[in-house]
Structure 1
Amino acid sequence: MTDLETIAVYDAKAQDYVDLVSTDKPNRHLRAFIAALPSGGHALDIGCGPGNSAAAMIAAGLTVKAIDPSTEMVALGSKKFGIDITQGTYDDITETAQYDGIWSSFSMLHIPRVDVPRHLAAMRKALKPNGTLVIGVKTGTGEERDGIGRRYTYFTRTELDSLLIDAGLTPTHHFEGEEAGLAGTIDPFIIVTAHA
């Protein structure tokens, strides 16, 4: 995510976001992701926000690299969860066969549609053989800003599956639902699990 207006929103609302996502235990999607990885495996949490998911992965024994573009999210990750977050974006995924799993939870939806294929290709390259990718996005069509100024790219299930397949990944599980986010609106979403 390199949209400066979107990053500025997260900088300004970092504590609100922490309050929104803080929980005593990981949700079922994160638990399933952790369970799919080998004991002591390597994971990447890209667009990690304050690092709540990365902290759960670390607590489960995984070695985790956490990346987020927001200065305030990086600072809060250290303060609240005691983890080191690298300030960066999807462009910083340059590894080859490094990760057993990549957690891309509601962060790629801030990427311009034109850039999505190359970022998915980079994640595919960074995964070990049979590695697991979990990606969550809001569903719909088009690109626009939400009520608090964040840039969004919306995906249909068919479009996202096609993008994953084109990147060399195999979608294996889909979960669709809706929930309230930082902007206060209730929006439909999809979480897809795919494998290298």
Structure 2
Amino acid sequence: MTDQETIGVYNRQVERYLKMVDGPEEDPILMCFIDRFKASDYILDLGCGPGHAAAVMRSKGLLVDPVDAAAEMVKLANEKFTISARQANFSDIDATDLYHGVWANFSLLHAHTKDLEFILLALHRALKPKGFMHLGMKLGQGSQRDRYGRYYAYYSQAELEDHVNNAGFTVKKVDLGTAAGMAGDMEPWIALTGLAR
């Protein structure tokens, strides 16, 4: 379920990735997500990377469990923000009724297509009733590796909404946009907010 080549890229390119995401601007989608919770609610940051989102959530009074599959990302997140990030793969998420929210921002696009629904079901189990999940993905078809060797799975909006619905969520909000990632290619993205039924 975990793509070792992708993890290896993040371990080797941690400084390049940090330069791409390190900035003073606040993410309006993250702030909208944070506004759904009360102080001390517990949030899983799945694929926390260098820890920016987890640090912002913590600064707003939330308790955060930041996890990433790349050991160097975990190390950087803890050095930069002291957020108790830990190393974990998608398949390690086995909690039940633990979290009030899940922030999966452009992490599950590295999960193989055959595994996505299984992971979403695990996230649903990990959430408390009426918990919220944020899912950021790239739009498109099929799968491919970028010039660094990272695996990407692409979906249409309808496909993602079906996956989210089948896993037990009701889609409450959809944001669309276009952005360049570490590889430099401009690509369309989607951010879904799902409410656990």
Q: What secondary structure sits across from 1:17 in the alignment? A: helix
- Separation of aligned partners in 1, 2:141 and 2:25: 32
State whether structure 2 residue 6 is matched by structure 1 residue 9.
no
Q: What secondary structure sits across from 1:178 in the alignment? A: strand
Deviation above 4 Å: which 4+ runs of structure 1?
A: none
The corresponding residue for 2:141 is: 141
The corresponding residue for 1:125 is: 125
- Separation of aligned partners in 2, 1:10 and 1:170: 32
TM-score by length of structure 2 reads 0.97
> Structure 1: which amino acid aligns with 2:157?
R
> Structure 1: which amino acid aligns with 2:69?
P
State whether structure 2 residue 97 is matched by structure 1 residue 101.
no
- Separation of aligned partners in 2, 1:131 and 1:113: 24
| Residues 2 and 91 in structure 2, CA contact (< 8 A), matched pair in contact too | no
| Residues 37 and 132 in structure 1, CA contact (< 8 A), matched pair in contact too | no
- Separation of aligned partners in 2, 1:67 and 1:91: 12
1:11 Cα deviation after fit: 0.8
Q: Structure 1: which 5+ runs fail to align? A: none
The corresponding residue for 2:33 is: 33
- Separation of aligned partners in 2, 1:92 and 1:62: 22
The corresponding residue for 1:178 is: 178
1:24 Cα deviation after fit: 2.5
State whether structure 2 residue 189 is matched by structure 1 residue 155.
no
- Separation of aligned partners in 1, 2:89 and 2:169: 21
1:23 Cα deviation after fit: 2.4
- Separation of aligned partners in 2, 1:80 and 1:48: 13
Q: What secondary structure sits across from 1:187 in the alignment? A: strand
> Structure 1: which amino acid aligns with 2:147?
G
* RMSD, aligned α-carbons: 1.0
- Separation of aligned partners in 2, 1:59 and 1:168: 30
Percent identity, aligned pairs only? 39
Number of aligned residue pairs: 196
> Structure 1: which amino acid aligns with 2:166?
D
- Separation of aligned partners in 2, 1:113 and 1:77: 28
Q: What secondary structure sits across from 1:144 in the alignment? A: strand
